[in-house]
């Protein structure tokens, strides 16, 4: 089968012919239809991700496909069933052998492109805002990186959960996308002063931050008393150092959050979240924003869209 693999850190992926994986104990074999790309894939290629696979390695954290074989001990899934999965690695290939425990059935009305854009982005935002930050109706939510994969879902879900949403993104075009997803207020990170504008709007009660760096520092200083800040990524390349005295003065809470970690420590958090999100999708309350769909052979170009921040929402690779 074909697979896009990291053969050398920091270099483009290589399209290689590799053996088709067979499902082991507790696994299923999936014919992959689509793979949703994530910022974490770029970190794997650089060698800076939390988990480091042995090279050569097939990357791709998120997939939609059809089960083609079932391993020993698997009783909840059957051949021919459509599933989405957060597999960590291996999705940029014709087939993947993955634990059945990370698979979820998807509704018949959900296209493969939507399914591959669904789990990580919506799951990250929903667990962060609901389970971790306990976002309440009427609170003011500040979303940094609001036009990216997770940021855009935070805007959409925050609005659905009853918050007043402030979206921060680079340039008018990206801010227009955030507005279409429900943002009440728009801040251009290229030209506007985030701290002063947020304070003029009444301050932030919850901060959703996949960016880090100077934007986190500005958001911290624009928080209301008892605000909650959720750092969940550092797309700026700078991990902010948090002054504890600022937390003390305003009784602020900084909430560490890594969505993928719940697959090991408490997977029920993710499965419960996915049930809610699936219901909202079927009811037409949420809809993934996929800005680009490229074939497997152009996976490097697809990754470049993320690297250069030229995408809005999700970039999906189609595997036929």
* SS3 at position 4: strand
Helix (H) or strand (E) holding 179: helix 172-180
Strand order from edge to edge, sheet including 57-58: 14-17, 2-6, 57-58
Residues paired with 253 in a beta bridge: 228
Residues paired with 228 in a beta bridge: 206, 253
The first and second tokens of residue 204, run together, are 């932030």
Domains 2-118+288-318 and 121-259 share a fold: yes
* Closest C-alpha among 320, 304, 286, 280 to residue 37: 304
Residue with tokens 């009444």: 202
Pairing of strands 82-86, 103-105: antiparallel
Is 99 in contact with 65 (CB distance < 8 Å)? Answer: no
Instruction: Give pLDDT tens digits along the chain (320 positions).
Output: 999 999 999 999 999 999 999 999 999 999 999 999 998 899 999 998 878 889 999 999 999 999 999 999 999 999 999 999 988 899 999 999 999 988 989 998 899 999 998 888 999 999 999 999 999 999 999 999 998 888 999 999 999 999 999 999 999 999 999 999 999 999 999 999 999 999 999 999 999 999 999 999 999 999 999 999 999 988 888 888 898 888 999 999 999 998 888 878 888 888 889 889 999 999 999 989 888 999 999 999 999 998 988 887 789 999 98
The beta strands (E) that lie in 71-214 are given as 82-86, 95-99, 103-105, 140-143, 164-169, 185-188, 204-209
Cα–Cα dist 276/36, whole Å: 21
Burial group, residue 304, by CB count within 10 angstroms (0-12, 13-18, 19+): middle
pLDDT at res. 223: 97
pLDDT at res. 203: 97
The 8-class DSSP code of residue 54 comes to P
The first and second tokens of residue 262, run together, are 């719940």
- Which residues, at least 6 apart from 182, have a Cβ–Cβ distance to it below 8 Å? 155, 156, 158, 159, 160, 165
Cis bond upstream, residue 83 (ω within 30):
no
Residue with tokens 């270099």: 11
Is 122 in contact with 212 (CB distance < 8 Å)? Answer: no
According to CATH, the superfamily of the domain at 121-259 is Medium-chain alcohol dehydrogenases, catalytic domain (3.90.180.10)
Helices (H) and strands (E) in the chain, counts: 11, 16
Is 216 in contact with 209 (CB distance < 8 Å)? Answer: yes
Write the CA distances from 148 to 19, 125, 137, 274, 311, integer angstroms: 34, 12, 24, 20, 7
pLDDT at res. 237: 82
How large is the greatest C-alpha to C-alpha distance in the chain, in angstroms?
59
Give the global pTM. Answer: 0.84
Q: Taking the domains of the chain in order of start, what are their residue ranges?
A: 2-118+288-318, 121-259
pLDDT at res. 40: 87
Cα–Cα dist 118/288, whole Å: 7
The 8-class DSSP code of residue 218 comes to H
Cα–Cα dist 19/284, whole Å: 40
- Which residues, at least 6 apart from 212, have a Cβ–Cβ distance to it below 8 Å? 231, 233, 234, 235, 236, 237, 238, 239, 240
pLDDT at res. 217: 95
Is 204 in contact with 140 (CB distance < 8 Å)? Answer: yes
Q: What is the CATH number of domain 2-118+288-318?
A: 3.90.180.10
């Amino acid at each position: 089968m074909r697979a896009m693999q990291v053969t050398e850190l920091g270099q483009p992926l290589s399209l290689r012919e590799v053996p088709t994986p067979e499902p082991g104990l507790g696994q299923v074999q999936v014919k992959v239809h689509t793979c949703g790309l994530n910022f974490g894939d770029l970190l794997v290629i650089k060698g800076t991700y939390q988990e480091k696979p042995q090279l050569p390695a097939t990357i791709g954290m998120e997939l939609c496909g059809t089960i083609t074989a079932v391993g020993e001990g698997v009783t909840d899934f059957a051949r021919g069933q459509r599933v989405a999965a957060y597999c960590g690695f291996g999705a940029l290939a014709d087939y993947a052998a993955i634990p059945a425990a990370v698979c979820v059935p998807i509704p018949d009305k959900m296209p493969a492109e939507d399914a591959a854009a669904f789990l990580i982005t919506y799951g990250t935002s929903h667990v962060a805002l609901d389970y971790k930050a306990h976002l309440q109706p009427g609170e003011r939510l500040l979303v940094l990186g609001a036009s990216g994969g997770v940021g855009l879902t935070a805007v959409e879900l925050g609005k659905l959960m009853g918050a007043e949403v402030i979206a921060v993104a680079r340039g008018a075009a990206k801010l227009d996308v955030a507005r279409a997803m429900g943002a009440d207020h728009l801040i251009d990170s290229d030209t506007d002063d985030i701290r002063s504008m947020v304070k003029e709007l009444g301050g932030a009660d919850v901060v959703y931050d996949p960016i880090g760096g100077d934007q986190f520092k500005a958001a911290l200083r624009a928080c209301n008393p008892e605000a909650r800040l959720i750092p969940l990524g550092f797309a700026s390349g700078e991990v902010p150092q948090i002054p504890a005295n600022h937390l003390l003065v305003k009784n602020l809470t900084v909430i560490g959050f890594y969505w993928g970690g719940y697959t090991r420590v408490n997977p029920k958090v993710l499965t419960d979240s996915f049930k809610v999100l699936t219901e909202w999708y079927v009811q037409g309350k949420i809809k993934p924003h996929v800005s680009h769909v490229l074939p497997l052979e152009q996976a490097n170009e697809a990754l470049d869209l993320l690297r250069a921040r030229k995408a809005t929402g999700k970039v999906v690779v189609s595997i036929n």
